[in-house]
């Protein structure tokens, strides 16, 4: 299960990557006229990304994914969950 608000401290280089991931997700939402800076949109995004983690767990349990594949995809899902945390709030 992927936490909705992982509280892991990260080094500066990783934080730069976190900001890039956040900008990536924000650009996808902006194309739809939305923003992850909106708290309600950010929460819906977190829930959706965390739920994707459940799908990964299920695929691993069914043998559809290897441990390595599941770990990689879970990492992407965690990055997605955390993305709103690296954007400034709405003005």
In a domain, 33, yes or no: yes
In a domain, 75, yes or no: yes
Reported confidence tier of residue 54, pLDDT bands at 50, 70, 90:
very high
CB 91 within 8 A of CB 15: no
- What is the distance of C-alpha 26 from the center of its chain? 11
Q: Which domain holds residue 67?
A: 13-86
- Could you identify the residue written with the tokens 């909106």? 38
The pair of three-digit structure tokens given for residue 3, joined into one six-digit string: 């936490």
| Per-residue pLDDT at 76 | 93
- What is the distance of C-alpha 10 from the center of its chain? 15
In a domain, 39, yes or no: yes
Full DSSP string of 2-49: --SS------HHHHHHHHHHHHHHHHHHHHTT--TTSHHHHHHHHHHH
In a domain, 45, yes or no: yes
Residue bearing the bigger pLDDT, 15 or 16 = 16
Please tell me the total count of domains within the chain. Answer: 1
Q: Mean of the pLDDT values across residues 30-57?
A: 95
In a domain, 8, yes or no: no
């Amino acid at each position: 299960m992927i936490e909705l608000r992982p509280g892991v401290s990260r080094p500066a280089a990783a934080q730069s990557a976190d900001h890039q991931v956040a900008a990536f997700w924000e650009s996808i939402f902006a194309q739809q006229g939305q923003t992850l800076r909106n708290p309600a949109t950010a929460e819906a995004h977190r829930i959706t990304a965390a739920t994707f983690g459940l799908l990964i767990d299920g695929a691993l349990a069914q043998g559809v994914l290897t441990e390595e594949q599941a770990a990689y995809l879970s990492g992407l899902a965690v990055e997605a969950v955390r993305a709103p945390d690296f954007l400034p709030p709405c003005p």
